[in-house]
Amino acid sequence: MVETGWRLPLAMAAAILAFFLGSAAAEATEVYIPDAKVKNGQKFVVPVMIDAVDRLAGVKLVIVFDARALQYLEGEKTKQTVSMMHIVNDKNPGRLVIVMAGARGITGKEMALIKLTFQVRKDAREAQTRLELKEAQLMTEQLTEVKATAKGGNITIVP
């Protein structure tokens, strides 16, 4: 019998989450945050990029940043990831846990997985801070691991 409605996507999401609970990422494709130059007090959007992937159906990212310099505002799916469900856990200041899942995988090169909006705090004293990508776990629609490296980005704050 063919699953209809929300059963199949929810079953896929459950399988993807189970995968992430017992898996560790290794090296291969790169997930990265590009460097940015922003003004003190400015709102800015930074994408989380992937260099190349085939049939990506599950993503778990952990990003840490200095909450004294930056304030997280929101995360938005991109044109390429619109078919995926996503959750951004921002309950701990300075730490984001992003989980994305879809029943069908996406394929592409040099594409944004999610766009994150931050605001530079007006009293930020640092001239430079980082969005550190601490963890990147990826999975295909066949529930196999996509080996990945993670690279954070420098945020240069100018007056």
pLDDT confidence tier of residue 126, bands split at 50, 70 and 90: confident
Q: What is the largest CA-CA distance in the chain?
A: 62
For tokens 């909450």, name the residue.
Answer: 67
Which residues, in sequence order, are bridge partners of residue 29?
A: 148
Q: Are 153 and 46 in contact (CB under 8 A)?
A: yes
The torsion angles phi and psi of 107, rounded to 5 degrees, stand at -130, 140
In this predicted structure, the answer to whether residue 14 has a pLDDT above a threshold of 70 is no
For the chain, domains (ranges, CATH) are 7-158 (2.60.40.680)
- The CA-atom distances, in angstroms, between 140 and each of 29, 59, 123, 147 are 13, 9, 43, 10
- The CA-atom distances, in angstroms, between 28 and each of 11, 121, 127, 149, 150 are 27, 35, 32, 6, 10
- The CA-atom distances, in angstroms, between 126 and each of 34, 38, 39, 96 are 19, 12, 12, 21
**Region 56-78: what's the mean pLDDT?**
97
Report the predicted TM-score, pTM, of the whole model to 2 decimal places: 0.81
Return the pLDDT at 8.
53
Task: Give the C-alpha separation, 2 to 5, whole Å.
Answer: 10
The better pLDDT of the pair 22, 106 is held by 106
The better pLDDT of the pair 21, 137 is held by 137
